[in-house]
């Protein structure tokens, strides 16, 4: 009984979508029709024959591997800076060379900041006290 209700709601939403005056309301009705389709599949033990209803399985949460992206490690930032400097040597236009050199400087500054954070974390973990941040050094590292 409940499945028949949801299937009727789905048909009504599709009909409303066909009769919609603008694309926004058409999209809303199609979205509702999809929702009603899922509700109908959940209400019945089996999907209606020939209609191919399927309830999507919930996505499994990815496992945390503890690995950081290269841009989030000091070594990764330094390798990116080195790659930018190598690329700057091979370009012909001065503007491209300056942009790559500027990018390399920023990657080096980021690497230094990440290294400071990692060292402070190790010290804090060993002493169980929060590290004091050196706010005077941070603007210099960013080139400000």
**Interatomic CA distance for residues 133 and 116, integer angstroms:** 9
pLDDT score for 41: 81
pLDDT score for 124: 85
- Shared domain for 127 and 88, answered yes or no, is yes
Per-residue pLDDT band for 79 (boundaries 50, 70, 90) equals very high
Per-residue pLDDT band for 35 (boundaries 50, 70, 90) equals confident
Q: What is the DSSP code (8-state) at residue 70? A: G
Model confidence over 89-136: pLDDT tens digits? 888 889 999 999 999 999 999 999 999 998 988 888 887 655 555 555
- Shared domain for 75 and 119, answered yes or no, is yes
Query: Model-level pTM greater than 0.75?
Result: no
pLDDT score for 113: 94
- Shared domain for 28 and 78, answered yes or no, is no
Residue 51 lies in a domain: no
Neighbours of 125 (CB within 10 A): 10
């Amino acid at each position: 009984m409940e499945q028949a209700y949801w299937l009727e709601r789905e048909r009504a939403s599709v009909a409303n979508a066909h009769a919609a005056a603008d694309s926004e309301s058409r999209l809303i009705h199609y979205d509702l029709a999809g929702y009603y389709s899922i509700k109908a599949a959940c209400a019945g033990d089996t999907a209606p024959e020939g209609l191919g209803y399927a309830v999507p399985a919930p996505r499994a949460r990815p496992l945390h591997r503890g690995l950081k992206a290269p841009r989030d490690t000091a070594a990764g930032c330094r390798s990116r800076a080195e790659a930018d400097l190598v690329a700057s040597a091979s370009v012909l236009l001065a503007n491209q060379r300056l942009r790559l050199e500027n990018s390399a400087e920023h990657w080096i500054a980021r690497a230094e900041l990440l290294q400071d954070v990692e060292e402070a974390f190790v010290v804090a973990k060993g002493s169980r006290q929060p590290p004091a941040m050196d706010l005077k050094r941070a603007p210099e590292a960013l080139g400000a």
